[in-house]
Amino acid sequence: MMKRQNDIRIVVAGLTLALLLPGLALADSAPSAERMDIVDTAIAAGDFSTLVAAVQAAGLVEALKGDGPFTVFAPTDEAFAKLPDGTLEGLLADQDKLVAVLTYHVVPGKLMAEDVVKLKRAETLQGTKVKIDSSSGVRIDNAQVIKADIETSNGVIHVIDTVIVP
């Protein structure tokens, strides 16, 4: 079991490195944040390496680099670390489940914080709705929004502290 966890960590680190290396070569000519898409913004932030690796493993990179607009409720690396042992590994081993979980974090359209707080639910790309509660801060299902309104060229990212599962 420990070897499998180490193997998964190596794969995640390798995928992250593979995504970051092309960007490092272009560091001097990096586009401004407002021109970077959701994926490039997540890579540049540095707090989403697990999410980015999962998006690549699921084959969703091109979709999230598309025109959009999209609203992404993005769990941090710390959020992924809070998952029960074996959960991330299980998702990485089952592409259908991984796609379902990742697309549950994405809402079509660009919903800024001022829009999100007016909603009780939002339809996700996964096909079901996330619950939104803004009575005390903003919660998306059981996740707290810890940073809002990171604008990108094809939407907006709201950072959450927990991975949400449909």
Domain ranges of the chain: 2-160
What average pLDDT does range 155-163 have in this prediction?
97
- Phi/psi of residue 162, nearest 5 degrees: -145, 140
What average pLDDT does range 121-126 have in this prediction?
97
Contact (CB, 8 A) for 133 and 94: no
pTM for the model stands at 0.80
**Residue 19 pLDDT greater than 50, yes or no:** no
> 74-98 pLDDT, tens per residue?
999 999 999 999 999 999 999 999 9
Per-residue confidence band for 35, with pLDDT thresholds at 50, 70 and 90: confident
Which pair of structure tokens corresponds to residue 10? 């190596």
CATH class of 2-160: mainly beta
Q: Distances from the Cα of 64 to the Cαs of 38, 102, 135, in angstroms?
A: 6, 11, 30
